[in-house]
Amino acid sequence: MSEEEEHIESDENGNTPGSDEQVVHLSGMYKEWFLDYASYVILERAVPAIEDGLKPVQRRILHSMRELEDGRYHKVANLIGHTMKYHPHGDASIGDALVQIGQKDLLIDCQGNWGNILTGDGAAAARYIEARLTKFALEVVFNHKTTQWLASYDGRAKEPMYLPVKFPLLLAQGAEGIAVGLSTRILPHNFNELVDASIRVLRGQKPTFYPDFPTGGMADFSNYNDGQRGGKVRVRARIAKDDNKTLRIYEIPFGTTTSSLIESIIKANDKGKIKVRKIEDNTAEHVEILVHLATGVSPDKMIDALYAFTDCEVSISPNTCVIEADKPRFIGVSEMLQVSTDRTLELLKMELEIRKGELEEQWHFASLEKIFIEKRIYRKIEECETWEEILETIHKGLKPYVKDLVREVTDEDVTRLTEIRIKRISKFDSFKADELIKKLEEEIKQVKYHLKNLVDYAIEYFKNLKKKYGEGRERKTEIKTFDTIQATKVAVANAKLYVDKVEGFIGHGLKRTESEYVCDCSDIDDIIVFREDGKMIITRITDKTFVGKGIIHAGVWKKGDERTVYNIIYQDGKMGAAMVKRFAVTGITRDKEYDLARGKEGSRILYFSANPNGEAEVVTVHLRPKPSLRRTQMDLNFADVMIKGRGAGGNIVTKNAVRKVVKKEEGISTLGARKIWFDDVVHRLNSEDRGTYLGQFRGEDKIFAVYQSGNFVLYGNELSTHFEDDLVLIEKHRPAKVVTAIYLDGEKGLYYAKRFTVEPGFRNKTLFIPEEKDTRLEMVTTKKHPVVQISFYKEKGKDRDPEEIDLVEFIGVKGFKAKGKMLSNYRIKDIVLLASEEEEEEEEEIEEVILDEAPDEQMPEKSTPESDKEPDAPLTEVPRKIVPKNPGGAKNQISLDLE
């Protein structure tokens, strides 16, 4: 036969039909093996099951501990060895998993050194530490009657498919695991909050709950996304100011340790982001890290810098992946709680049905036993010679009474009756038998009631769990909303800015001999540059950057800075008029050139000054002489020029040629006081109209704050100021304003009132109530005419009418150290500050500035593209008296001689 006739088609692997030899390509083998490996790791090692919230190794550890449970502690080494009957992956993985379960302080009662989650220290060797199951675990996790069993990996033993956990264990403990191409991160939640949330689910309500971390700290769950992929949780350490030179970290973010936190602080210090003199770690049972600040460093600014540049703030990305029906599934924590609650309800129902069956069996046999003995049926079997005759005789004797039983009598029932001993028959007490049957009937009735009202039964079950095991499990992590910290505002100056005006370079790596020092800055700052040709550019600082020749000013630029005002006079075109303008640069596109003139060729800057607080100087404009010109110089006061956007054309100074512009007099700020608000959500100050309005502040104005601890503090008006959580009063400080306070004297148990003023000299936290134990601040106000209503407890069965006390008349103004005056000798029940009409504050006078602008035809709008224009800066202008100071010029003021 020819080769064509003998040709037989083969399959894709090259196998010939009917052949005993099978060919498998290597790529196919790897594909199958990889999928098998990935599936095994996902299902059997890394990801927990939704049914009981446990990974296989955790489930096997708990099952082994239950088998060994005798109420005493067991060596962990022994527990590991026993678990190896069920877990095929060695002692190391079992030991690590056992320690992790123990450190969660829920299922395992630990004894010995189990490590420290705060410091990151590991546990002692397995032979030195001991463990046993907690009472909570024994009650909630195990029930042999409702457990499904399967063969262990070697077929020699039985292990649970899932443990019958009647609690949202996975949400309480959390879980982390990395599989092949898959990972899970479920954050731990608070025990009591989960119980309450489960109760709300049972009642058909939608619960809201957030993670709670064992390390404490503060957390922002604004973007939690129900724990699913794409969500983010911001967690911060708790930092307190011990004094102006020391910060104390006393709670750390979840996922960090004191060692890793200190290491991150040291790295930030080495990189120049922060300035720290010394760090002390005094952590033992509780976290205590002391951060000693370098000289001249603001503690408020340092707190923000620690959050911005170190692990004092971390972001956690949750990813709730679980195994359900042998498949990985991504679900939210709300659905996870719903599944757990439904499973708990199902398990409780199974337990009740099992208990009902057991009680009915007990009632059935107790009734049979009573009939068997009272009706003397046992005597009828004396003449029987075979087992069959005995069974038949007993069946026949019981037949008249079967109608009163819950089910038919079986041979097994009869066999049990024949096993009753003569001693029991002779001592049979009919009354006790009736009492037992009655008790069983009551229990059966109760179980049936619970089955009928299963949801109510489950709610009581959860309430009982909270009552028995919820004490001491209060929330540790405070839920807060964080503000965004701009790194450029809190970074310390770790570099020096230099400028080469001739060649047009800026940076911190320029040669000192060829450049001019500008200022200290950080390596993440933006630099603003103005050139003689009227161009402006903002760029990120580097070692060396070319920004164009003819630099007249370079400095650090802060986004959103409305108080730094630039004063310029420029020539509009080669032969154009001289124009004047004032503007602030609040926001731009980085590395884009902006034309501050009106775009005409030959435009140039005649005069420039940068004013960090909106100062307005007086300059003398010298004109080029010509026959028709009567005056060759004129004075210009920048205070008469309105602050507008950088894209504005400006006002005409003169149409004559300008020879030079020289500063004549220094000026003071034309900006009004800054308006400040207090955002009580994030406990921070702001100037963006968020929260409670505090007032308008100038440089030396202070903020008065009172805390529940009985302390008051005078703060500066910096927006970076941090406030403690127990804040009860905050407002602009006015020295003449009287503070009225009522406090409970802890030693005498009596209430006192006091009135005092606070002078501007106070800088540190000052206590104004006695230091005795249990003394507490009851009320504080700065109203001009406070009146309180006092109600009393009953005494000797008589009611006492409430009293109103005018505190202004009741007590005079004294020093803050004065004890005050006792309100009443009677036992006070409640003190209420009565509402009154709001007292009008004296408004600060603000004078208007009227600008003499050039006519519209002299200021064509087409000079600046519409996209580059900014709205007028929202600043209140107040004309100030100009004080002559250093007429020859000062730093950041540029005078160009144009001759």
> Could you tell me if 745 and 770 are in contact, meaning their C-beta atoms sit under 8 angstroms apart?
yes
Round to whole Å and give the CA distance between 638 and 78.
Answer: 86
What strands lie across the sheet with 658-665, from one edge to the other? 633-637, 618-623, 658-665
- In the chain, the amino acid numbered 644 is K
Instruction: Note the helical H segments in 558-702.
Output: none
Cα–Cα distance for residue pair 544/822, rounded to 1 Å: 71
Vertex 697: Cα angle to 695 and 702 (nearest 5) = 95
Residue 779 dihedral angles phi and psi, to the nearest 5° = -160, 145
d(C-alpha 467, C-alpha 202), whole Å? 18
Active-site annotation holder among 30, 37, 40, 128: 128
128 part of the active site: yes
Judge contact between 741 and 779, C-beta under 8 A: yes
Could you give the CA distance from residue 175 to residue 172 in angstroms, rounded to a whole number?
9
Element containing residue 323 per DSSP (H, E): strand 321-324
Two tokens, residue 53: 């919230």
CA–CA distance, 162 with 639 (Å, rounded to integer): 80
The SS3 call for residue 245 is coil
Distances (CA, A) of 407 to 107, 449, 452: 42, 21, 22
CB 526 within 8 A of CB 541: yes
d(CA 52, CA 60): 12
Three-state secondary structure readout of 738-771: EEEEEEEECCCCEEEEEEEECCCCCCCCEECCCC
3-class DSSP state for residue 549? Answer: coil
Nearest to 570 by CA among 667, 674, 478, 653: 653
- Helix, strand, coil shares of the chain, percent, nearest 5, are 30, 30, 45
Orientation angle between helical segments 91-103 and 56-68, nearest 10 degrees:
80
What residues does 715 pair with on adjacent strands?
703
**Bridge partners of residue 707, in order along the sequence:** 727
Among 227, 139, 148, residue whose Cα is nearest residue 185: 227
Beta bridge partners of 536: 530, 594
Residue 691: name the closest of 483, 478, 845, 877 by CA: 483
Contact 228, 263 (CB under 8 A): no
- Of the candidates 209, 394, 214, 236, the one whose C-alpha atom is nearest the C-alpha of residue 312 is 236
Residue for token digits 């969660």?
A: 104
Q: What is the DSSP letter of 484?
A: P
User: What gap in Å lies between CA 193 and CA 333, rounded to an integer?
Assistant: 13
Round to whole Å and give the CA distance between 108 and 173.
12
Quote the tokens at residue 95: 């030991």
* Residues in the chain, overall count: 899
The b-or-e profile of 861-896 (16+ CB within 10 A means b, else e) is: eebbeeeeebeebebbbbebebeeeeeeeeebbbbb
The residues, any chain, with a CB within 8 Å of residue 85's CB and separated by 6 or more, are 64, 152, 156, 157
570 class by beta-carbon count within 10 Å (0-12 exposed, 13-18 middle, 19+ buried):
buried
Nearest to 170 by CA among 38, 341, 350, 351: 341
Tokens of 864: 């600046």
Catalytic residues: 128
